[in-house]
Structure 1
Amino acid sequence: MSIGWVVLIAIAALLLGGVGGFFIARKYMEDYLQKNPPVNEDVLRMMMMQMGQKPSEKKIRQMMQNMKNQNQKK
């Protein structure tokens, strides 16, 4: 087998592995986000109630804004 064939097979394997890895990672992230949805106002409200606090709309909006600001800084 010549060196050209070895290089061709190696490049083909890398391309197939990259494409396959992309689709596997995409499927994994879709499943993860479906099982663990991002935090929203309802989740914050429920967490505050579980901690024994009475959530007001002002507190909920402040916490959501703080979380958005932290995500933008990253």
Structure 2
Amino acid sequence: MTLWIAILLIVVALIGGVALGFFIARKYMMNYLKENPPINEQMLRMMMMQMGQKPSQKKINQMMAQMNKVQDKPAKKK
């Protein structure tokens, strides 16, 4: 009888740990994205204007493509 209780407690602890870990990771990522939002075309346009450049759509598209290419490289190595 005590063996079944021990097995049940282990299974419940594992499920609880997985659920708790999921919610902690979710909260961490939500806070991270709130503090460091991903860059978009509007942000690039503002950065270029602040640097004294006239932001054309072609330049913005090139910069976005380059940034996406750089972000995808480390993911492919894994």
Q: TM-score, normalised by structure 1?
A: 0.71
Shift of 1:47: 4.4
- Number of residue pairs aligned between Structure 1 and Structure 2: 74
In structure 2, the gaps of 5 or more residues are: none
The answer as to 2:31 corresponding to 1:28 is no
Shift of 1:64: 1.3
Cα distance in 2 between the residues matched to 1:56 and 1:4: 69
Alignment match, 1:5: 5
The answer as to 2:39 corresponding to 1:39 is yes
Cα distance in 2 between the residues matched to 1:6 and 1:52: 68
Alignment match, 1:61: 61
**Which amino acid in 1 is paired with 2:58?**
K
Q: CA deviation digits over 1:16-51, x for unaligned, max 9?
A: 111111111111111110110001123333444666
Q: TM-score, normalised by structure 2?
A: 0.68
C-alpha RMSD of matched pairs (Å): 2.4
